[in-house]
Amino acid sequence: MNYVIAPSPTVSLPIVGSEQRFPVRRVFCIGRNYADHAREMGATVDKETPIFFCKPADALVSDGAPLPYPSATADLHHEVEMVVALGSGGTSIPVAEAMTRIWGYGVGLDLTRRDLQAIAKAKSHPWDVAKAFDHSAPMSALVPASQATLSDATRVSLSVNGQARQQALLGEMVHNVAEIIAALSRLFELKAGDLIFTGTPAGVAALQRGDTFHAELEGIVSLDGQVV
């Protein structure tokens, strides 16, 4: 096929223990999925109506690349999250079948320009400029689901400059992974290559230029990076 301009390269993520890569289609995120984080943000959780938003696939930062401090903000916040990668999709997926769509797991940061988000909230505007900016999704390599043993007791955590910032058990999520996939599939047609950021626990705070960070999905995979 002939294009009038060169097409953008396919965004992809490394796979632990493999030279193959995982091509990324879309990046979905859920908000307010840990009650303690919702409280620290002055919000409440509506179990019946999960909050979803998206990031562009090319916002991912992978393979140990440095994280550029974004423009237009003086209050960049970290939000550590378990990330689910889909190997298949569909619409109106039943909760009982949702886990069969998962290809693998990773850990990432949903970076937020908190000052811009506060302005958007005050004006009842969308959050796009606060969430979907360039380099807003540092991401680990993926581990295939067949090689990952997770439970409600699996911990997701983040330290910054060697100091603990965030940690929680997956069992503390308001909506579990199967429920997230099922709810998303009622709003979008999910497909192979989709990523889902599954929400952040309490302890979100600012990142500064020069900070180093270590995110971990306990016993599965970790992510290390630096803000430049």
State yes or no: pLDDT of 44 exceeds 90: no
- Is residue 95 a part of any domain in this protein? yes
Q: How many CB atoms lie within 10 A of CB 30?
A: 23
pLDDT the model gives residue 183: 97
- Is residue 5 a part of any domain in this protein? no
Backbone angles phi, psi at 215, to 5 degrees: -105, 145
Closest CA to 197 of 217, 213, 220, 224: 217
Q: What is the CATH number of the domain that holds 126?
A: 3.90.850.10
50: tokens are: 């999960």
201: tokens are: 């626990």
Q: Which residue has the tokens 């109506």?
A: 49
pLDDT the model gives residue 46: 77
State yes or no: pLDDT of 38 exceeds 80: no
Kind and range of the H or E element at 118? helix 114-122
CA 84-87-88 angle, 5° bins: 115
CB-hemisphere CA count at 13 Å for 223? 36
- Is residue 6 a part of any domain in this protein? no
pLDDT in tens, 160-190: 999 999 999 999 999 999 999 999 999 999 9
Split at pLDDT 50, 70, 90, the class of 88 is very high
- Is residue 99 a part of any domain in this protein? yes
* Residue range 136-149: mean pLDDT, rounded: 98
* Residue range 207-227: mean pLDDT, rounded: 98
Q: How far apart are CA 81 and CA 106, in angstroms?
A: 9
pLDDT the model gives residue 70: 98
Split at pLDDT 50, 70, 90, the class of 51 is very high
pLDDT the model gives residue 45: 78
State yes or no: pLDDT of 43 exceeds 80: no
- Is residue 161 a part of any domain in this protein? yes
Domain containing residue 117: 12-226
Q: How far apart are CA 163 and CA 191, in angstroms?
A: 38
User: Cα 1 vs. chain centroid, distance in angstroms?
Assistant: 34
Q: How many CB atoms lie within 10 A of CB 36?
A: 13
Decide: 206 and 77 in contact? Cβ < 8 Å.
yes
Q: How many domains does the chain have?
A: 1
- Is residue 1 a part of any domain in this protein? no
How high is the mean pLDDT of the chain?
96
pLDDT the model gives residue 188: 98
Report the predicted TM-score, pTM, of the whole model to 2 decimal places: 0.97
